[in-house]
Amino acid sequence: MSPQALVCAVLRREFRRTARNQSEAGHPLIFFVLAVMLFPFALGPDTALLSVVAPGVIWVAALLAASFSVEGLFRSDFADGSLELMALSGAPLALVGLAKALAHWLVAGVPVLLLTLPLAVGLGLDPGVLAILMASLALGSGCMSLLGTSISALTVGLRGSGMLVALLILPLYIPLLIFGASATANAALGLSAAAELYFLAGLLVLALTLTPWATATALRIRLS
């Protein structure tokens, strides 16, 4: 099977799984919106204050939503044995991991990106700042999916894996958070956010290179 065909097969399979469990796919997105919504209640409706904290709040909520949405990536495949079949079939597991991460990004990352728009407007963000926020999230969400796929592969099928994935992954997400939040903070001050965005892009490339290997190794270990 050619690499492209494998990726397409995995993608198609993931979309079908998501279509069957639409509600389950929607939960992290609802959580994302809810988490952001809590802050006006906590801090008061004053948009001046909200617009200052909005980028950080949205970033944190996106990270939390990602750490929850990534948990079930391999669960059903593990449970029904198809993961073992994939491993035995000789298909490169790294490619499977990459495809799964891409599927997660399309199903969980992109919707979060789109939901950021109304949320940011609701929190009073300027269009210029919003643009940088979206750019940083677009780059960061790719990393979130890639890292999340590796950690999800490590913890597949374990009891309490939902919380465990979050515990393992949040420290690893911190650099993304730092660069994403400071990019938007710079934009809010009218400064250039180029450096931070370059760092995020660099982290994305690093993740693209290394995480598929980690995912494949993790799957092989857990399947043994």
Partner 1 sequence: MFDFLNKYASLMHFYRLSRRLSQWLAPLTAVLMCAGVVGGLWFAPTDYQQGDSFRIIYIHVPSAWMSLFVYMSMAGAAVSILVWRVKVAEIALRCSAPLGASFTFLALVTGSIWGKPMWGTWWVWDARLTSELILLFLYLGIMALQNAIEDRRVAARAAAVLTLIGVVNIPIIHYSVEWWSTLHQGPTVSKFDRPSIHLHMLIPLLLMSVGFTTFYISALMVRMRTEILRYDRKTNWVREIVTTHHGSPSSV
Rule CB under 8 A: which residues touch partner 1? Answer: 147, 150-151, 154-155, 158-161, 164, 167-168, 170-172, 174-175, 178-179, 182, 185, 199, 203, 206, 210, 214, 217-218, 221-222, 224
Distances (CA, A) of 35 to 45, 60, 62, 152, 224: 16, 9, 9, 22, 38
Closer Cβ to partner 1, 15 or 84, answer by number: 84
CB 200 within 8 A of CB 134: no
Two structure tokens written together for 69: 């949405």
The least distance separating partner 1 from the CB of residue 38, rounded to whole angstroms, comes to 23
Nearest-angstrom CA–CA distance, 188 and 51? 9
Residue 159 CB, shortest distance to partner 1, in Å, is 7
Closest approach of partner 1 to the CB of residue 9, in Å = 25
As a whole number of angstroms, the distance between CA 48 and CA 17 comes to 42
CB 144 within 8 A of CB 173: yes
Closer to partner 1 at the Cβ: 119 or 137? 137
Closer residue to partner 1, CB minimum distance, 137 or 203: 203
| Nearest distance from C-beta of residue 2 to partner 1, angstroms | 28
